[in-house]
Amino acid sequence: MKVGLVGCGTVAGYGHLPAIKSIKELELVALSDINETRLKEYGERFGVKNLFTDYREMLDSIELDLVTVSTSLNAHYEVVIESAKRGINVFCEKPLAETTEKGWQMVRAMNEAGKIFAVNFENRAKPYIRRIKDIIKSGELGRPMMMRFIYNWAGGRWAGKERYERLMKEGMGPIVDCGVHYFDLVRWFSEDEFDTITADGIFMEGYEIPDHVVALCRLKSGALVVIDESWVYTHNSKDRTYLLRIDIECEKGIISYQMGPAPREVEFKCYGPNETMIEKSEEEEKPFITMYNDIIKSIKEGKLVNGLASGEDGVKATEYAIKALEDVLIKNSMRR
Residue 67 has pLDDT above 80, yes or no: yes
How many Å apart are CA 134 and CA 24, to the nearest integer? 30
Backbone angles phi, psi at 321, to 5 degrees: -65, -40
The dihedral built from the CA positions of residue 61, 67, 73 and 74, taken in this order, carries a sign that is: positive
Contact 286, 151 (CB under 8 A): no
pLDDT bracket for residue 243 (50, 70, 90): confident
- What local confidence, expressed as pLDDT, does residue 131 receive? 97
Residue 8 has pLDDT above 80, yes or no: yes
Over residues 272-301, mean pLDDT: 94
| DSSP 8-state code for residue 184 | H
CA 204: distance to chain centroid? 24
Domain edges within the chain = 2-115, 123-285+318-335
Contact 156, 231 (CB under 8 A): yes
- What local confidence, expressed as pLDDT, does residue 161 receive? 85
99-119, pLDDT tens digit by residue?
999 999 999 999 999 999 999
How many Å apart are CA 94 and CA 251, to the nearest integer? 32
| DSSP 8-state code for residue 156 | G
Q: Is 297 exposed, middle or buried (0-12, 13-18, 19+ CB in 10 A)?
A: middle
Residues 6+ apart with CB under 8 A from 334: none
Q: pTM of this prediction?
A: 0.96
Residue 2 has pLDDT above 90, yes or no: yes
- What local confidence, expressed as pLDDT, does residue 238 receive? 82
**Which CATH number among 3.90.1150.10, 3.30.497.10, 3.30.360.10, 3.40.50.300 corresponds to the domain 123-285+318-335?**
3.30.360.10
- What local confidence, expressed as pLDDT, does residue 73 receive? 95
How many Å apart are CA 204 and CA 234, to the nearest integer? 13
Residue 46 has pLDDT above 80, yes or no: yes
Residue 233 has pLDDT above 90, yes or no: no
Residue 240 has pLDDT above 90, yes or no: no
- What local confidence, expressed as pLDDT, does residue 241 receive? 82
181-226, pLDDT tens digit by residue?
999 999 999 999 999 999 999 999 999 999 999 999 999 999 999 9
pLDDT top residue among 171 and 149: 149
- What local confidence, expressed as pLDDT, does residue 264 receive? 83
Over residues 216-239, mean pLDDT: 92
Mean pLDDT (the chain) is 95
Residue 159 has pLDDT above 80, yes or no: no
Residue 162 has pLDDT above 80, yes or no: yes
- Please confirm whether the linkage preceding 95 is cis (ω < 30° from 0): yes
Residue 234 has pLDDT above 90, yes or no: no
First-last CA distance in the chain: 55
- What local confidence, expressed as pLDDT, does residue 157 receive? 82
How many Å apart are CA 155 and CA 139, to the nearest integer? 36
How many Å apart are CA 6 and CA 4, to the nearest integer? 7
- What local confidence, expressed as pLDDT, does residue 79 receive? 98
Q: Is 24 exposed, middle or buried (0-12, 13-18, 19+ CB in 10 A)?
A: exposed
CATH, domain range 2-115? 3.40.50.720
- What local confidence, expressed as pLDDT, does residue 171 receive? 87
pLDDT bracket for residue 4 (50, 70, 90): very high
Over residues 133-156, mean pLDDT: 95
